[in-house]
């Protein structure tokens, strides 16, 4: 029987991320960062307009619409504000005005906006820490949905905000941003793929879990999910997805994924079960590729793909749909 990875991998070299793919990945992250920065820029523009109503820095206290923005400019994050009393907030604003805005003279509004953006920049940085992984997951989802659509396979998908299952739609624009589960049927039975699920017998979060069940088994608003994922025999395949594109972090991503796969392997072997295990990552260096390919040849891994290679991701998704 031909092993599934042989459909798209001939040697470990096929797994190595190319320079072009790395460059494209960094550009995608930069574009996403700019997209997420847009609301902060618009807030800063609005702040400038409102702050110009003040004739001097001390008058900023008299503009109710910008009090939260003054606290942000004072260096306080949204999280920090939940732990401060009113008097402490007023003290922070007074320190901002006295120590930074008054010395700026006539340019106190510009100084206010710059300091507002500095704090918002920290917020943006926090949002961007996991963006590479998020973009990788979206790419995987989009490929999976594309293959289901091309094969005319009806599917249901789980909306992470409404907590409800939604049927196939002609217009599925951007559903990868809110999808946390997807179900379909193949010749072997019903299948549900869950994203980022804590598997009880493993005791840790697993990026991708393919289950032998139908979406109704999980219950309304996932009310029966715990019972389903607590049944090891229902797991068909489990996988790790690492979307980080930076080559400098590639080895660390693989170490994390490899440890996770080892835990999964050990947990299911205790149940005398051997579900399929797979890995897909965006940043794969030569040494990693050799190790991954060795695991494929030894049947420690069933399948693997480079997330930046469309043919490989397509082949991996096609395999997942069919097993």
What pLDDT is stored for residue 297 in this prediction?
96
What pLDDT is stored for residue 220 in this prediction?
78
Give start-end residues of each CATH 3.40.91.10 domain in the chain: 4-31+130-322
* Alpha-carbon torsion angle 97, 102, 106, 108, nearest 10: -30
**For residue 97, what are the contacts with CB-CB under 8 A and spacing of at least 6?**
57, 58, 60, 61
What pLDDT is stored for residue 1 in this prediction?
57
Distance CA 306, CA 216 (A): 33
**For residue 29, what are the contacts with CB-CB under 8 A and spacing of at least 6?**
128, 131, 132, 135, 245
pTM reported for the whole predicted model: 0.83
What pLDDT is stored for residue 289 in this prediction?
97
**For residue 175, what are the contacts with CB-CB under 8 A and spacing of at least 6?**
141, 145, 157
Q: Are 102 and 216 in contact (CB under 8 A)?
A: no
Q: Are 278 and 300 in contact (CB under 8 A)?
A: no
184-218 pLDDT tens trace: 999 999 999 999 999 999 999 999 999 999 999 99
Distance CA 56, CA 301 (A): 67
Distance CA 4, CA 67 (A): 59
Fold topology of 52-128: Recoverin; domain 1 (1.10.238)
* Alpha-carbon torsion angle 179, 319, 237, 166, nearest 10: 20
CATH number of 4-31+130-322: 3.40.91.10
Q: Which residues of the chain are under the pLDDT cut of 70?
A: 1
Residue 153 structure tokens: 């396979």
**3-state percent helix, strand, coil for the chain, nearest multiple of 5:** 60, 15, 25
The torsion angles phi and psi of 162, rounded to 5 degrees, stand at -80, -10
Question: Which run of H or E residues covers position 305?
Answer: strand 303-306
Give start-end residues of each CATH 1.10.238.90 domain in the chain: 52-128
């Amino acid at each position: 029987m031909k092993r599934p990875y042989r459909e798209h991998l001939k040697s470990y070299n096929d797994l190595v991320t190319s320079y072009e793919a790395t460059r494209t990945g960094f550009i995608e992250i930069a574009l996403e960062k700019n997209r997420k920065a847009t609301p902060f820029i618009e807030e800063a523009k609005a702040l400038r307009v409102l702050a110009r109503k003040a004739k001097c820095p001390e008058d900023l206290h008299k503009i109710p619409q910008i009090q939260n923005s003054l606290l942000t400019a004072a260096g306080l994050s949204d999280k920090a504000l939940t732990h401060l009393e009113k008097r402490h907030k007023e003290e922070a604003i007074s320190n901002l005005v006295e120590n930074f805005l008054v010395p700026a003279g006539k340019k106190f509004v510009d100084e206010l906006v710059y300091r507002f953006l500095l704090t918002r920049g920290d917020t943006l940085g926090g949002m961007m820490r996991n963006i590479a992984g998020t973009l990788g997951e979206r790419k995987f989802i989009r490929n999976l949905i594309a293959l289901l659509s091309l094969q005319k396979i009806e599917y249901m998908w789980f909306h992470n905000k409404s907590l409800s299952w939604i049927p196939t739609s002609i217009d599925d624009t951007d559903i990868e941003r809110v999808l946390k589960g997807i179900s379909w049927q193949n010749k072997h039975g019903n299948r549900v793929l869950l994203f980022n699920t804590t598997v009880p017998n493993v005791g840790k979060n697993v990026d991708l879990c393919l289950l032998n069940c139908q979406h109704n088994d999980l219950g309304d608003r996932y009310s029966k999910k715990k019972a389903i994922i607590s049944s090891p025999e229902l797991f068909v395949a489990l996988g790790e997805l690492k979307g980080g594109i930076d080559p400098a972090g590639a080895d660390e991503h693989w170490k994390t994924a490899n440890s996770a796969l080892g835990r999964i392997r050990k947990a299911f072997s205790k149940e005398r079960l051997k579900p399929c295990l797979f890995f897909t990552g965006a940043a794969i260096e030569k040494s990693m590729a050799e190790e991954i390919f060795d695991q494929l040849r030894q049947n420690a891994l069933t399948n693997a793909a480079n997330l930046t290679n469309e043919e490989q991701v397509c082949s991996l998704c096609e395999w997942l749909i069919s097993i």
